[in-house]
Structure 1
Amino acid sequence: MKTTYIGILLAGILGLSSCSMVGDIDDIKPYYKMESDNVVYNSESAESVLRGVYKSWRTFNVSTFRPYMSILSGTTASKGGGLTGGQEFVTNSIQADNIALSNIYQGTYLTINTANNLIKLMERGDAKGMPEQRVKEIIAECKFHRSLAHFQILRHFGYFFDLNSPYGIVLRNTPFEGTETATRASVQDSYTFILEDLDYAIANAATNSTHHYYITQTSAKALKAKVLLHMGKMAEAEQLAKEVIEEANNYGYKLENTFKSLFENGYESTEALFSTYTHGSLEVVSDLVSRTTYSEYTKRLADNLVNGETDGDLTTGQGYDFRFYFMFNPNSAGPLGNGKYPYASNGAGKHNTQMILRLGEIYLVHAEAAAHNKNYVAARESLQSIASRAGYANDYASTLSDNQLLSFIFKHKTLELFSENGEDWFDFVRYYKAGNIGLGDIKSTIKSESQLVLPIPQVALAGNKELAPNPL
């Protein structure tokens, strides 16, 4: 009898959480391989495999890549050189054989494959006795994960900012073993694939959940609004983000009253649209953010936004944006040296989580899209909601001119989300391509447009002869 998929999935996840997947392409085959006989046979077994899909987001290869991206953008700086391969991100000179690059590429495709495996089993009816509605919900959850993972790979390794570019990504909608060759889809086709999955999730996922580490229709709508923003479809992004904001409270989502409580509440936060679940000292999420500190760029930004002067006091926090000070204030930083990830080294507690998608971000997606659409009243309203929570005056957004608005939305989003999901880097790329920021305005080591897209990892190129590298 074949080895069960659950056993392979757990072995792969445990292996990923403790070591790199870098190596000969044959070495990664067990992580991708699926043996499908007698795997899902009832509701309980289906739910068990689904939990494996969720767990894939907190594997070592995926969860530890966040600090690399904030170093790449210049919103944080490396502390003590503790990130393996991190110096290439410091200098914006990443090479195809970089170990962290290989980890995130293969780790994210593992998420795609675990989702594809379960979709196949559910569609062929293996979950005997499971209500049809729940079958659809599980498929919808898997398609959300598949869309998010493809979106992440596209933003890291594709020309996500150019719908006419042929340099999209390899799309996977069926299980694979890691040895199949495939060409890259165009950027437009990549986005089309992602949106189709999200539309299914919007139509078929659960309407709400008491646990914010599970996917709902609202989560899918929020991600779609974010995807549309990256595509430059501002009118659609504005409308969908507005819908999410207006409907959020009906389904148990709302902004936290304080920025601090967002991270203290962790995966129980009302603001979390999707966050990683953790439990005890075994089900933890690894993060290397303790090996970073603030950059001079973020320090200046946090200082200048408050009173417009260089009067900030790092000891008291006076004169600094609260979100910056909260991140690095010794009184709130916690064992890992920062406020956003305040958990102890054993990982215990609900705050040992990573916010992958949250409502505060959707307010800023709405603000940016509305500003592009010259709907300045709506843009100011959403920006004000986020600024007020950070301690700015209740009329703050009204003091910004129409011409200033986009720039200040960018600045607030940087301080709101840096060190979370690489949004600071992707926003920099998008704003640069739109002509709203200079290439070297944040970091002097960014000198060429070729540095705006990460190279396809060498291990992926070696295993897929049809995979074209990114142009130099």
Structure 2
Amino acid sequence: MKRILSYIIILGVAAGQYACNKQLNALPDQSKVEENVILDLKGAEVALNGAYYRFVNGGDDRGVPSTITANDREIFPGRLSGYVEYPYGGGDLTNITIQAESFSILPAWTNSYMLVNAANGVIKGTEALPPAKISDQKRKEILGQARFLRAYGHYRLLSYFGQFYDINSAYGALLRLEPVTSNNISKQRSSVKESYDAIMEDVDYAIANAPATNTSYYASKWAAKALKARILINRAQPGDYQEVINIGREFMGGSPYSLEADLRQLFINKGIESNEVILGILPMPNQRSKADTYFYFGPGYVPTQPLTDIFKGDPRANWVLGDMSGSVGITKFIGPKVEHCYVFRLTEIYLLTAEAIVRSGGSVTEAGGYLRTVMEHAGVTDFTAVNNATTADAMLIEIYKETVRNMICEDGQEWFALLRLPFATVQSIRPAIISINQYILPIPRTEFQRNAQIGEQNPGFNK
């Protein structure tokens, strides 16, 4: 696909054909995309860039075009997991007392549906193009990327707002498989199994048809495989763990990616240009969104005591956490690449592979080997805890701890790794969780006001 992703084009597309109200499920102009934009290959590419604009949470940050990603995908799950906090007050994320009217949950819901809706516009318009207007190969590559984006958006919705951990639950995602119009805005949510089936259909299509290689800020077959591994570890159905292992070994044995020799250099100097990054977010010129999110007024967000404790004795404590205007802040991203964001890194694949080996009854020693490899690349030299983890339960705890230390504030990895542990362990790590109902969030109240057919609220919450 032509590299037409200039952020000027993206902003133009987003402001026009792809602009939505920030109202939940508000009718977008996207119903006109097929006629006005996707008339040929170039139109399909421009529309796809508009969907990527939604993927990066593109917007205006006090007059500066920015990828407004940090709060939604980095701070939000960090606060849910109890490792990151706003220093000037607690709140419903700190205590996990979120309710349907809570403002804090709206970005995770609204941004995901804007992405899904934009992807749907690309899919519908590109599928409708006659063969004379687009080659079969280009059509498949564009659809592969669009379906990856739709799968990513739907999976975020399922994992944050649906009982993703129970395949038999009726509380799945509200699936949107076509652009929203006045005729279909009212829709019932799907079951968890139906949600996984639809998401996996998109992921498998992306694996088969997305470009084999792409720049690190566009989706590829490898990004789709990474998404599949992330989904399967949580779906946890027969054969899922083995497939995660297979994906992991494929990455390690035949992918264009390799672990960064010095993890700190990835964040400080290399950013998404690092050969470890499978998919990342390239900032717009001169943006300041993330820097302000983390560092404004001294440290904008600070590590909690549990996060400080988990870094005790670890060499990364000296640069993941550090001094910010006299207070301890999250300094992991400080450097020329501060505004870069990371969606999938090879480290995650190593950690998921190790976890899948243990959960499938495989060799704890083999899993420990993958874990030590990741830690070595992060500068760790003391592997006593890993070497002493000779049981499955002990190894899972070590994998969880490394996930926190290595991937804190990276697309929710610390939160979902926590929720895969036994409930008693989750409670001991995150005492605010007193019920499994708190593993997911309530559907925002505004959705019930606009969509009478959606169904019941998630258990434990009011509409």
Distance 1:8 1:239 in 2: 38
Residue 75 (structure 1) aligned with residue 83 (structure 2): yes
Residue 440 (structure 1) aligned with residue 427 (structure 2): yes
Q: 3-state SS of the aligned residue for 1:275? A: strand
- State whether residues 72 and 92 of structure 1, in contact with CA within 8 Å, keep that contact through their aligned partners in structure 2: yes
Match of 1:329 in 2: 322
Residue 40 (structure 1) aligned with residue 38 (structure 2): yes
How far did residue 33 of structure 1 move?
Answer: 4.9
- State whether residues 234 and 373 of structure 1, in contact with CA within 8 Å, keep that contact through their aligned partners in structure 2: no
Match of 1:312 in 2: none
Residue 292 (structure 1) aligned with residue 288 (structure 2): no
Distance 2:292 2:318 in 1: 20
Residue 340 (structure 1) aligned with residue 354 (structure 2): no
2:235 to 228, 231, 234: 231
1:64 to 51, 71, 74: 71
State the identity as a percent.
Answer: 27
Distance 1:143 1:292 in 2: 34
Distance 1:282 1:77 in 2: 23
Distance 1:170 1:72 in 2: 22
Q: Alpha carbons of 1:153 and 1:252: their partners in 2 closer, same or farther (altered >3 Å)?
A: same
Residue 206 (structure 1) aligned with residue 211 (structure 2): yes
Match of 1:392 in 2: 380
- State whether residues 17 and 32 of structure 2, in contact with CA within 8 Å, keep that contact through their aligned partners in structure 1: no
Q: 3-state SS of the aligned residue for 1:330? A: strand
Q: Alpha carbons of 1:227 and 1:196: their partners in 2 closer, same or farther (altered >3 Å)?
A: same
Distance 2:433 2:372 in 1: 31
- State whether residues 76 and 293 of structure 1, in contact with CA within 8 Å, keep that contact through their aligned partners in structure 2: yes
1:325-356 CA distances to partner (integer Å, 9 max, x unpaired)? 3222239x9xx95333326xxxxx65522111
Residue 9 (structure 1) aligned with residue 14 (structure 2): yes
How far did residue 30 of structure 1 move?
Answer: 3.3
Q: 3-state SS of the aligned residue for 1:255? A: coil
Distance 1:432 1:31 in 2: 45
Distance 1:271 1:168 in 2: 33
Gaps of 5+ in 1: 304-318, 344-348
Match of 1:192 in 2: 197
Q: Alpha carbons of 1:57 and 1:361: their partners in 2 closer, same or farther (altered >3 Å)?
A: same
Gaps of 5+ in 2: 1-9, 60-67
Q: 3-state SS of the aligned residue for 2:85? A: strand
How far did residue 237 of structure 1 move?
Answer: 3.2
2:369 to 350, 361, 381: 381
1:115-143 CA distances to partner (integer Å, 9 max, x unpaired)? 11001111111685433212101100111
Distance 1:191 1:233 in 2: 11
Distance 1:13 1:44 in 2: 16
Residue 167 (structure 1) aligned with residue 171 (structure 2): yes
Q: Alpha carbons of 1:430 and 1:352: their partners in 2 closer, same or farther (altered >3 Å)?
A: same
Q: How do 1:359-378 residues align onto structure 2 when only pairs under 5 Å count?
A: 359-376=346-363, 377-378=365-366
Distance 2:211 2:217 in 1: 13
Q: Which amino acid is 1:256 matched to?
A: E
Q: 3-state SS of the aligned residue for 1:355? A: strand
Q: How do 1:25-424 residues align onto structure 2 when only pairs under 5 Å count?
A: 28-30=26-28, 33-59=31-57, 63-65=70-72, 66-81=74-89, 87-125=91-129, 129-177=133-181, 180-209=185-214, 211-233=215-237, 235-247=239-251, 250-264=254-268, 265-281=270-286, 288-290=293-295, 291-303=300-312, 319=313, 321-330=314-323, 337-342=329-334, 350-376=337-363, 377-393=365-381, 396=384, 397-403=386-392, 404-424=394-414
Q: 3-state SS of the aligned residue for 1:421? A: coil
Distance 2:282 2:106 in 1: 25
Distance 1:462 1:119 in 2: 28
Distance 1:94 1:44 in 2: 44
Distance 2:13 2:131 in 1: 19
Q: 3-state SS of the aligned residue for 2:316? A: helix
TM-score (norm 1): 0.83
Match of 1:346 in 2: none
Q: Alpha carbons of 1:408 and 1:469: their partners in 2 closer, same or farther (altered >3 Å)?
A: same
- State whether residues 172 and 192 of structure 2, in contact with CA within 8 Å, keep that contact through their aligned partners in structure 1: yes
Q: Alpha carbons of 1:234 and 1:337: their partners in 2 closer, same or farther (altered >3 Å)?
A: farther
Match of 2:64 in 1: none
How far did residue 205 of structure 1 move?
Answer: 1.2
Q: Alpha carbons of 1:355 and 1:127: their partners in 2 closer, same or farther (altered >3 Å)?
A: farther
Most deviating of 412-421 and 387-396: 387-396
Distance 2:383 2:430 in 1: 32
Aligned residues: 430
Distance 2:200 2:39 in 1: 30
How far did residue 369 of structure 1 move?
Answer: 0.6
Match of 1:313 in 2: none
Distance 1:15 1:29 in 2: 7
1:414-438 CA distances to partner (integer Å, 9 max, x unpaired)? 11112111222222222135xxx43
Most deviating of 394-403 and 450-459: 394-403
- State whether residues 62 and 108 of structure 1, in contact with CA within 8 Å, keep that contact through their aligned partners in structure 2: no
- State whether residues 102 and 458 of structure 1, in contact with CA within 8 Å, keep that contact through their aligned partners in structure 2: no
Q: Alpha carbons of 1:183 and 1:325: their partners in 2 closer, same or farther (altered >3 Å)?
A: farther
Distance 1:200 1:445 in 2: 40
